[in-house]
Amino acid sequence: MRAAVALLTVFGRSTAPTREAWVWFPLVGAAIGALVGGAWWLAEEAFPPLLAAALVVAVDLAVTGMLHVDGLADAADGLLCHAEPSERLRIMRTADVGAFGVTAVGAVLVLEVAALASQPVSVVLLVALWCAARTTVVASAAFMRYVREEGLATLMLSRPAPAWPLVALLPAAVIAGLAEGVRGMAAVAAVVVAGGAVLALAQRRIGGFTGDVLGAAIVLGQTAGLVVGAARW
């Protein structure tokens, strides 16, 4: 659990990733969602909706150390350009951020702020969405190949990742449904679809996943969930 917290947040950075960390992704995701959701509730009490939403997104970036957003930028540059798989991997590893990455990150931040500002505060919804986003990426390790010889996830993949943490999607959907009805369940489904789309694109273009791909799947998943949650049902 400490390894999962260290990997997914700015807390406990001295703990190295381990192969058991995957099991705790859903719980850590739910905890991050609770923290960000609490910030949402407090911000809405003190500020107008748009400013409150911007502050909530800033809190999420701070808690995660912008690691997932960095992964989104790198993954967008590598997966969306026209190149061979080996060149895509090289692009994703470089420190520079290109037009694809800047555009992807900018669009995600705007969508998240707009979606949060357009719906009533729901801490439970964020718990479910953040849990579902982290749970979805567990599938990449359980059913996909890690395409780098050495990287952030190497220590976690000394043996195949377990698939059973995916069952956390069911309670996430149930909790969201009980709190928000059809809107909540649809939002969780959107997380899975968007995150799965990122993983499918990575499978097609580089033959598997990287840490950047996981970050992109998390960010785009939770963004899609927020957008669907803000729809007029």
Q: Please give the helix or strand (H or E) that residue 115 lies within, else none.
A: helix 99-117
The β-bridge partners of 209 are: 146
**The whole model's pTM is what?**
0.92
Distance CA 179, CA 46 (A): 24
pLDDT in tens, the chain (233 residues): 888 888 888 887 666 667 778 888 899 999 999 999 999 999 999 999 999 999 999 999 999 999 999 999 999 999 999 999 999 999 999 888 999 999 999 999 999 999 999 999 999 999 999 999 999 988 777 788 888 877 666 656 655 667 777 788 888 888 888 888 999 999 999 999 999 999 999 999 999 999 899 999 999 999 999 999 999 87
Instruction: Please state the domain count of the chain.
Output: 1
Query: What pLDDT shows up at residue 95?
Result: 84
Measured CA to CA, the distance from residue 152 to residue 136 in angstroms comes to: 18
Q: In angstroms, what CA-CA distances link 56 with 43, 53, 64, 168, 181?
A: 7, 5, 12, 25, 23
Query: What residue numbers bound the domain in which 162 lies?
Result: 2-229
CB proximity list for 206: less than 8 A, separation 6 or greater: 78, 79, 85, 88, 89, 147, 213
